[in-house]
Structure 1
């Protein structure tokens, strides 16, 4: 590698491009960048596209603007860099530039723009992308629609728009689309809708992913508010037919998957299964994370963990709580204070 880079003779575009496909330390990227100029290959769209991916936005923009006739690929590369750094306004500015150059955006263009929208949580930007998707005829592209649906559901929590995109999709076999809808409704506490979608998805022989199961089981933490109790039985029957090992393998050292599943089992009074799940947690050394809350006072964040009296003002806090409890008992002595 070192011998190749220190040789000052011109290199073919294909050779330089191949080098840039690898994951490289900054020092080697700079060496290759110098070789690109020596070879006169800095106007090559493919090389520039791959070079942009090795830099952060400031240098990446400089590399991009050296191109005299960029095609869609370097445009996509720079929009991706800007999206990953949360620079939504500049990403959209470049998108407008590529349209002025009469270049046609592709599915990657929209995907990177939607990533920028997701990071900025800007509803206006999402609507812009959506309108362009419709205008250029990408509504039949499952890849683009999946990204659009995810931003509406998981980012903006705009379930009406998310469902509209879903209903307009020609191919609804992508599990990621169902998962985004389920996650969006779970975040909003729309538990019955979560269960309806999950059951419908499984009945269509679509295999839920780990993310799907986590979203469904997180909704189970509020199952006590569901008046129609047969939802629980239906849900657990469906889950029994799935490979639940994947759920805890998302993060084997995290207790969240175990706890959410245990809550669903407990609600169905399946205590033997709950006991077995807790035994598995113990054997694997998985410890349930303590509850945590925090409050900001005068710009200082105070964090509290269950069973952890580490706060420097814990004694004063406990005395205040004790006083409040006594006052509540005095006002309503017949009620139990917790």
Structure 2
């Protein structure tokens, strides 16, 4: 394979084939080192093979590899190369897959990336153990970088994992909390989603040998971008299409989850907010008609607009933080393009 020094001009998320050229062989090698049962489930989750282990000629259910792309571009932004950041890129993708496997178990989501989720095919214990194995493999990736960089790289990943668990814990707790404020929700999103994107960006800087100030700017860029991404994801969860997202649309409303549009709508004082509060407080399961009604009420109470506005605010904060990292002009432009596309996701 020829040496890759960076993405072609104009390459934007989600079509990042230059990332896959570096990432996929390294990611396959990391998964190949897992115990057999976990290797099989992880490869199925990635879309590399069917449940029985038969290789798939067309890769199904592949993720968008945006976190690895951020890691590699952030390395370029501070004078490094994509290959410098490869161990960090692999690590954050492994952690991301770990969170998806566990999220599907906790949420009971039977569909992931247009295919049956791992737990629904291999069983819940297998999905949990596979997630655990992926997390361990991620730690191995960052611990085996050059010795002068390893302590900082491991510290970044450990910090992100702890923040991620805390954010996920708050997200679960919100299901049984009567009132959740927008500020509480955003703090949760920063941990659940922003922490890993911040880690990806920071690892790019660390593995490229950047100083602490530039790494700090990259980390904050990723964290703000992660919150903006979560805002967009919440919008897709209510107003998207299963054909686009690969997950059941409306399931969060049916489960009475408090995503950002819902939290913002429930804080309203008009009649739509009152009706939504009554619907969410009802002890009976929500029917398909109730879910449709809830979607209408969230929009009428201003929840959709509030989430869109918050995504834009977080994006502005992300780009300000990126400037503090003093990135090269070309890398800044490409990171800006990726970031903008992430919150303009097709609904």
Give the TM-score of the pair, scaled to structure 2: 0.26
Which one has the bigger helix percentage? 2
Structure with larger RCO (C-alpha < 8 A, sep 6+): 2
